[in-house]
Structure 1
Amino acid sequence: MQWNVNETENWEELRSFVDTALLPIYLYRGSKEVCEHVLRMNYLLNVAAAIEQKLKGRVLLYPVNYHFAEEQPAQQTPSGFVHNVLLHFRGDRVRVAELGTEGSVLTLPVGDEDLESSLRFEVTVDVLYKEIIRHWQQWSTQ
């Protein structure tokens, strides 16, 4: 489920099935050109959307959370989800705010090389969505 009006109209009906929040996090760095930021942010959003499609029915994809890299704020996670998955570019330092005991947090780094390769994109999505499934399986055996 994506964070948009069309898909959230039935939120109350679907709420009991959606236990995972998918939060793409983008850190803006002043050292990069605007065109590079656009490419990177689009890539991150496309990876997140593709993961959500593969795990549809159990995941709510939030809009991108945009920060300036210099600020380094602690990332909040939404309440009411058993699992929170933070998606960010490799090398970005993402700090998570203190959590209660009700849920888990999985941080998944995305490589930022060869962003225009469709093969690289498919491999990235495949690896990351399988990692989420592995996380779910480990959590359920605890």
Structure 2
Amino acid sequence: MQWNVNEFENWEELRPYVDTALLPLYLYRDGIEVKEHVLRMNYLLNVAAGIEQRLKGRILLFPLSYRFAWEEQEQKTPPGFAFSVGLHFSGDKIRLGDQGEASTLMLPVGEEDLDSSLRFEVTVDVLTKEIIRLWQQKSAQ
């Protein structure tokens, strides 16, 4: 489920099944051209949307959270989710704050070959499997 008006029409109906918050987290760093930031943000959002499509029905994809490198890097997540997954570029130092009972996972995305469709598909596949592994670990406990 994505964070938009069309999908939220059925939120009350679907809420019992959506237990995972997926948060794309973007860190604005100095030394990167604006055009490159736009490409990187778009790539991160596309990876997040690809994961959401593969795991549709159990994940709520939140809008991109955008921060500057010199700001505090701890990201809070919304309450009420059993799982919180942060998606960020591997070079970024971002962490999810204490989530209480929620299980958290930070998934790094590689910063190279952002224009490769094969790399994109492999990235989405690997990260999707990591989320499934998180679910399986929790259910095995």
2:98 counterpart letter in structure 1? E
- What residue is the counterpart of 2:46 in the other structure? 46
**TM-score, normalisation: structure 1:** 0.97
Displacement of 1:127: 0.3
- Deviation readout 1:55-96 (Å, 9 max, x if unpaired): 000000000000001113311011000000000000211122
1:27 counterpart letter in structure 2? L
2:115 counterpart letter in structure 1? E
- SS of the residue corresponding to residue 125 of structure 1 reads helix
Cα distance in 1 for partners of 2:72, 2:121 equals: 30
1:103 counterpart letter in structure 2? A
Confirm whether residue 34 of structure 1 aligns to residue 1 of structure 2. Answer: no
Displacement of 1:34: 0.4
- What residue is the counterpart of 2:132 in the other structure? 133
Confirm whether residue 86 of structure 1 aligns to residue 92 of structure 2. Answer: no
- What residue is the counterpart of 1:63 in the other structure? 63
Displacement of 1:49: 0.1
1:127 counterpart letter in structure 2? V
- What residue is the counterpart of 1:124 in the other structure? 123
**RMSD, matched Cα:** 0.7
Cα distance in 1 for partners of 2:78, 2:121 equals: 28
2:7 counterpart letter in structure 1? E
- Deviation readout 1:72-128 (Å, 9 max, x if unpaired): 33110110000000000002111222221x211000000010000000000000000
- SS of the residue corresponding to residue 16 of structure 2 reads coil
Cα distance in 2 for partners of 1:95, 1:58 equals: 23
- What residue is the counterpart of 1:20 in the other structure? 20
Query: Where does structure 1 lack aligned partners over 5 or more consecutive residues?
Result: none
Cα distance in 1 for partners of 2:99, 2:12 equals: 25
> Which stretch of the first structure deviates more once superposed, 71-80 or 15-24?
71-80
Contact kept? 2:87, 2:108, Cα under 8 Å = yes
Identity of aligned residues (%): 71
> 4+ residue stretches of structure 1 with deviation over 2 A?
none
Number of matched pairs: 141
**TM-score, normalisation: structure 2:** 0.98
Displacement of 1:11: 0.2
